[in-house]
Each structure stands twice: as structure tokens, then as C-alpha cells.
């Protein structure tokens, strides 16, 4: 099966991709990668910058390199053993051309930093699946684990859903799974633990889809709530609760 993996250039994305590819070694893969998640030019809190820098150092350590930008992307491609291309504008130009030429059976989105339009969504024969690192419909958007911690939820989790239009995290749900949230454990550790649980479930769903051509899905009825990147105020409240990013 020909699968396009849409992901982001960060630690969690790399670890998730490595685990997924090890579980599905016989598929034909193409990866398109964004540099960041969130609105271009958006001001980022100092705490989030610290998290980003720490993740970068961890990723360099995993890859055995000291680099950034294209060098880091190439190191990820070498480690995963699949081609990775930057996705500056997924819905047009070179990226769209690559998708068309590849003729994918399936598109997977894991931490991808752009919204897909109708043309891209219509390309794969078996549709588009998104692995969302939050429970839907309650936690739509970015950094769902952070928001669950900030709201002192008892649990967090992940949702696998179809992408059928440009609405963010609103597609029919295929699988939803809760995990216990530990306020004594930092955000990054719990996020990485989430993907370790979620990836085998995703791999199983992909195998079922390949065999049957369809997956049971449940439409999202409740409107839910969308969360963007945390602001400086959000980070201050997070720290005031004794919570840690990393």
C-alpha cells in the first residue's frame, strides 16, 4: 500500500514515525513535513521556546547529529529510511505535485502543521486519517495534553479520525482512547507516552483498512472546543499549578 505520512519536524513526530514504520515495514512510504505547528509569525511564549529547544537537543541526540533546518530533516529521513520533503504549501505547487505523482492509497496526518484542502483530501483511495493527541471533541487543536493538564483533568488521550474537509479535528471518529493523567509528570513525557500507546492502535487500524477497504466511524455531534498555542498567561497558570513542560 502506498502511504503518505504528513508530519512535523519535532521529537514526538520522529519517535511516532519510527515506531509506525517499524510496525508497517512493507508499505511504500512518502513523507511531507512542516517546520512548525501554529499560525506563521505567531509570538511564542518563552516557556514554549524552551520546550522547543529542549526537544531539538533530544532529537539531535537520537539522530547523532548537531544541525537544524534541512540538515535535521535529512537526518530524520536517513534514520527512517524514507524520503522526506518539506511541505511549505501542501495544497499547491511542488508539494501537491508530489502527492499527485505518488498516487497514494492512504494519507496519514500526525502532528502536521497545515490544513488540507478538498483536492488533497480527495487524492487517496482509502481516505485521510489523523492521529490527534487529544480526546475529541473536547480538545480540538494544538497541544491537547497541555490543556488537559492545565484544566486538571483526570485523564487525557488520543483520537484517530477521518479528515473529510478543512474543519480542524472535526471528522468522524474511528478510535478514541483515554489514558490516566499524572500531574507529577511533565508535559513532554506524557505526550511521548501517548504516542507509544497510540501508534500500535493506528497501525492496527491501517491494517484493517487495507484488508476491508473501510473502517467503522462515528460522526462528531458535540461542537467541542478548539485550543490554539498557549499564551504567556496560560504558561504562567500552568507553572503556578506546579506543572512542568519538560
Q: CATH number for the domain including 201?
A: 3.40.50.12230
Is residue 27, in this structure, part of any structural domain at all?
yes
pTM score, whole prediction: 0.96
Is residue 56, in this structure, part of any structural domain at all?
yes
For strands 173-180 and 155-162, give the pairing. Answer: antiparallel
Query: How confident is the prediction for the chain on average, in pLDDT?
Result: 96
Q: 40 pLDDT exceeds 90? A: no
pLDDT over 90, % of the chain:
93
Give the pLDDT of residue 89: 92
Is residue 196, in this structure, part of any structural domain at all?
yes
Is residue 245, in this structure, part of any structural domain at all?
no
Q: 41 pLDDT exceeds 70? A: no
Alpha helices in 24-130 (DSSP H): 46-63, 69-80, 93-102, 118-122
Is residue 198, in this structure, part of any structural domain at all?
yes
Is residue 179, in this structure, part of any structural domain at all?
yes
Around Cβ 193, how many Cβ atoms within 10 Å? 15
Is residue 199, in this structure, part of any structural domain at all?
yes
Q: 111 pLDDT exceeds 70? A: yes
pLDDT band at 39 (very low <50, low <70, confident <90, very high): low
pLDDT band at 208 (very low <50, low <70, confident <90, very high): very high
Alpha helices in the chain (DSSP H): 11-23, 46-63, 69-80, 93-102, 118-122, 144-150, 187-212, 232-240
Domain residue limits at 170: 2-240
Q: Which three cell numbers stand for residue 120?
A: 488533497
Q: 42 pLDDT exceeds 90? A: no
Is residue 73, in this structure, part of any structural domain at all?
yes
Q: Tally the domains of the chain.
A: 1
Q: 68 pLDDT exceeds 80? A: no
Amino acid at each position: 500500500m502506498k502511504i503518505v505520512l504528513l508530519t512535523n519536524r519535532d521529537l514526538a513526530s520522529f519517535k511516532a514515525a519510527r515506531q509506525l514504520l517499524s510496525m508497517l515495514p512493507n508499505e511504500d512510504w512518502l513523507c511531507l513535513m512542516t517546520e512548525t505547528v501554529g499560525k506563521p509569525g505567531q509570538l511564542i511564549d518563552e516557556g514554549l521556546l524552551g520546550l522547543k529547544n529542549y526537544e531539538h537537543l533530544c532529537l539531535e541526540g537520537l539522530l547523532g547529529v548537531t544541525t537544524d533546518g534541512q540538515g535535521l530533516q535529512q537526518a530524520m529521513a536517513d534514520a527512517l529510511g524514507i524520503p522526506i520533503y518539506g511541505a511549505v504549501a501542501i495544497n499547491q505547487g511542488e508539494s501537491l505535485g508530489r502527492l499527485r505523482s505518488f498516487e497514494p492509497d492512504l494519507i496519514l496526518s500526525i502532528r502536521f502543521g497545515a490544513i488540507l484542502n478538498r483536492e488533497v483530501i480527495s487524492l487517496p483511495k482509502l481516505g485521510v486519517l489523523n492521529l490527534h493527541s487529544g480526546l475529541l471533541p473536547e480538545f480540538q487543536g494544538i497541544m491537547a495534553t497541555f490543556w488537559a493538564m492545565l484544566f486538571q483533568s483526570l485523564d487525557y488521550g488520543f483520537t484517530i479520525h477521518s479528515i473529510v474537509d478543512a474543519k480542524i479535528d472535526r471528522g468522524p471518529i474511528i478510535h478514541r482512547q483515554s489514558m490516566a493523567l499524572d500531574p507529577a509528570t511533565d508535559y513532554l513525557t506524557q505526550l511521548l507516552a501517548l504516542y507509544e500507546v497510540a501508534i500500535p492502535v493506528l497501525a492496527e487500524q491501517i491494517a484493517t483498512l487495507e484488508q476491508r477497504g473501510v473502517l467503522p466511524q462515528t460522526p462528531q455531534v458535540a461542537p467541542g472546543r478548539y485550543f490554539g498555542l498557549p499564551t504567556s498567561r496560560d504558561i504562567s497558570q500552568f507553572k503556578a499549578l506546579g506543572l512542568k513542560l519538560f
